[in-house]
Amino acid sequence: MAIVHIINNEVSRAFVADGVLAYGGSPMMSENHMEFDAIHKYSSALVINLGMVNPEKRVLMIKACQSATKHGIPIGVDPVGIHISPWRLEVFREIMSTFEIAYVKGNQEEIYSGVYGPYDNGSKSLEAEQHFELELFSSKLLESKAVWLITGEQDYVIGRGRCEVATGGTPDLRKISGAGCLLSALVAVNISKGLCIFDAALKASCDLKKASEGFVEGGTGTLKMKIIDRLGPAGDSSV
C-alpha cells in the first residue's frame, strides 16, 4: 500500500486513518518535522488539514509542504473553517501562495472565502444562493492549476479546464465529524494509485457518497462504521 502523509486534526484522526486503510492506502500522521524528509521519500502525497491549526502547527505544515515540494509529491489542502477565522484564512493563503497545491477540498463557504475573500451573509448558506453557481464555474476556478473539490448536497470538482458533479449520498453524511477530512485523504489515496488529480478527486467524492447510501436505521454511529466497511470495495474499483 502506498503511503500518504496526513497532518490531520485530532478530532477525526482515527476515523481518517481507518478510512484510508480500508480504501487501500497507508496513512502516516507524523507531526515531527525531523522525519518529514524520510517519510516523503516513500510517500505519494501530503494532505494538510487546517481543522485545529495553531501557530506551532502552522510552522509544521509549512515545513511539511517544503519537504513535499522537495520530493515532488502532490499537496492537498483541507481549509477547514477559513470562512469563520481570518487567521486560518491567512494561513491558507500563505500555503496557496508559497507552494504549488494539487487540490483543495472544502465546503462552499470555505472555497468561496479562499478564492474570493471572506464570506459574510449572516446565517444564510452559500449553498442556498443561486449566484454562487455562476461564480463557482468562473474561469478563475476552471483555469486553476489546482483542482477544487467543493462539497455540498452535490460535490463539484473543478479545475484544469474540467468540471464534473458528483451526486448521491445521504444528508446524514454531514452529521459525521471528520467525513470531509476523510474525503481529503481519499483523494490522496487515489493519487497514490496513479490517477490524475482531477480523477482522483472525482472518484473519492463519488465513492464516499455511494458508501453512505442506503442506511435508514441505526443512526450516524452505524453509518460511520458502514462507510468504513464499504470503502474497501470502492477503493479496489476503477474510475
Q: How confident is the model over 69-105, as pLDDT tens digits? A: 999 999 999 999 999 999 999 999 999 999 999 999 9
Distance, CA of 73 to chain centre:
16
Predicted pLDDT at 48:
98
Predicted pLDDT at 67:
98
Report all structural domains of the chain as residue ranges with CATH numbers, in order of start.
3-236 (3.40.1190.20)
Mean pLDDT of 6-20: 95
The span from the CA of 235 to the CA of 98, in Å, is: 32
Please give the single-letter amino acid code of residue 32.
N
Q: How many CA atoms lie within 13 A of 13 on its CB side?
A: 12
Please give the single-letter amino acid code of residue 148.
W
CB 67 within 8 A of CB 37: yes
Distance, CA of 80 to chain centre:
9
Confidence band of 134 (pLDDT split at 50, 70, 90) = low
**157-183 confidence digits (pLDDT tens):** 999 989 999 999 988 888 888 999 999
3-state secondary structure (DSSP) of residue 184: helix
pTM of the entire structure? 0.92
Mean pLDDT of 36-56: 97
In the predicted structure, residue 120 carries a pLDDT above the cut 70 = no
Predicted pLDDT at 128:
44
